[in-house]
Structure formats: C-alpha cells, structure tokens
C-alpha cells in the first residue's frame, strides 16, 4: 500500500487502515462503513470476518467492495485469496505465517496487494518482506488477554522504520496514547474494534486521528 497525502493527515503522519468487525449485519454495516469513509481519509479497508461460510463472505464482500470502490478506497480480504480475486478485491491479508507468499506474488503480479501479519516477530516480518509483501502488520500493540499476551513493542516499530522500507502497520488494542507514541515510527494504524464498539464510530476514529497530530 502506498501512502497517500490528505488534507486531514499531514504527509509525515500515518494513514488509517480500517479493519471490519469479525461479524456484522449486512443490512446496516456497509452504510456505517460508507459514513466513516466519507468523514475521514482512509488508506485501505480490510474485510476481516470470522466466518468460513463462502456465501456469507461473498455477499458481504460484494457490498463492502462496492462501498469502498465507490470512494476510491482499496479493500483487501483476510486469508481467502481465491475469493478475494473472484470478488474483485484489491488484494489479500495473509494471517497463516505467510505461507506461499512468494508464489502468490508470482501468480498475481505486482498490482495485487499482498499484506502479511507477522505478530510480534521481526524475523517473520523480514521474511515476508523479502517474499514480496506490500506491507507488514505487527500486533497486538496494546495489552490483551487473548493469545499468549505477547505484544509488538515500540522498539520493533522504531527499528523497522529505520532499517526496512516495506510499509508497516501497527494494529491491535490501540488507544490514543499508543497512537500518539507510535505515530513517528509506523506507516499505518490498523483500527477496528477500537471504533466499531463505540456508539459513534466516526467520532471515535476522529479522536484517534487527532492523537496522531498532537
């Protein structure tokens, strides 16, 4: 993902990489997403549904693709490479230790976005970058009881920003303080539940964006 400049976010500030909830109502979420996209500059959207049902993923994918592409915003899908291609998505976000990433790059070419989630591992991130990933995401950044409790620390992002050219995404349990501290060393913030659980998702995102500017 290439960084775009905007009136809302200064060129040196990270962009927002918006992550959908794992479950949502097809009748209402596309409109909510559209309102958020209309209110803020978004670099990319990731459809991150937990379901493995192809029909549900397809119906949701069609709706979200239309919502994003109508606003010239790229959209990628978690994991499901063939379905992402079939539905006209801009790419895929790999979560399974980036298996086959090099082969996927050879198959789909340079214009298909390939993102790689690498947890907290600098080594995995470097391997994914060498295999052709367009971006690397690390996380969770904040404290959580999910998984083994490992966090992607600020030092990882600082090192990456100084050594590696592949864009990096900070995601997972973000808050204003974390965003403020990581803004100088990340290219994107992956934001999802941080706003979707709020009554005013657009307002919640606005507060997080404001933290980047302090």
**Domains (range + CATH), the chain:** 15-212 (3.20.20.70)
pLDDT at 98: 73
In a structure prediction context, what are the per-residue pLDDT tens digits for the chain, which is 214 residues long? Answer: 644 434 444 447 999 999 999 999 999 999 999 999 999 999 999 999 999 999 999 999 999 999 999 999 999 999 999 999 999 999 999 988 677 999 999 999 999 999 999 999 999 999 999 999 999 999 999 998 888 889 999 999 999 999 999 999 999 999 999 999 999 999 999 999 999 999 999 999 999 999 998 6
Question: Which element (helix H / strand E) includes 191?
Answer: strand 188-191
pLDDT at 9: 40
Whether residue 209 contacts residue 194, with contact meaning beta carbons closer than 8 Å, is answered with: no
pLDDT at 19: 98
According to DSSP, residue 129 is labeled H
pLDDT at 175: 97
pLDDT at 97: 63
Count other Cβ atoms within 10 Å, centred on residue 83.
Answer: 15
For 72-131, how does the pLDDT look when each residue is reduced to its tens digit (9 = 90+)? 999 999 999 999 999 999 999 998 867 799 999 999 999 999 999 999 999 999 999 999
pTM over 0.75? The answer is: yes
3-state secondary structure at position 120: coil
Whether residue 141 contacts residue 168, with contact meaning beta carbons closer than 8 Å, is answered with: no
- Tokens 């915003």 — which residue? 73
Closest by alpha carbon to 179, among 9, 25, 6? 9
Query: How many Å is the maximal CA-CA distance in the chain?
Result: 45
pLDDT at 155: 98
pLDDT at 12: 75
pLDDT at 214: 67
According to DSSP, residue 14 is labeled P
pLDDT at 99: 77
What is the sign, positive or negative, of the torsion defined by CA atoms of 101, 103, 107, 109?
positive
Count other Cβ atoms within 10 Å, centred on residue 7.
Answer: 6
CA distance linking residue 20 with residue 151, whole number of Å? 21
């Amino acid at each position: 993902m290439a960084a775009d400049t905007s009136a809302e976010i200064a060129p040196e500030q990270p962009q927002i990489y918006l992550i959908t909830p794992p479950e949502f109502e097809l009748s209402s979420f596309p409109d909510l997403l559209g309102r958020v996209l209309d209110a803020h500059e978004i670099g990319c959207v990731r459809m991150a549904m937990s379901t493995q049902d192809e029909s549900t993923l397809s119906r949701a994918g069609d709706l979200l693709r239309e919502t994003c592409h109508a606003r010239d915003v790229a959209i990628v899908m978690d994991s499901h490479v063939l379905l992402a291609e079939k539905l006209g998505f801009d790419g895929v976000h790999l979560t399974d230790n980036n298996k086959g990433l090099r082969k996927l790059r050879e198959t789909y070419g340079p214009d298909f976005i390939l993102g790689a989630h690498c947890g907290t591992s600098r080594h995995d991130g470097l391997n994914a970058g060498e295999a052709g990933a367009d971006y690397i995401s690390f996380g969770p950044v904040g404290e959580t009881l999910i998984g083994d409790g490992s966090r992607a620390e600020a030092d990882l992002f600082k090192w990456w920003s100084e050594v590696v050219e592949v864009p990096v995404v900070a995601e997972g349990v973000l808050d204003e303080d974390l965003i403020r501290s990581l803004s100088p060393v990340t290219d994107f913030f992956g934001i999802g539940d941080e706003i979707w659980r709020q009554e005013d998702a657009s307002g919640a995102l606005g507060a997080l964006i404001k933290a980047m500017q302090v």
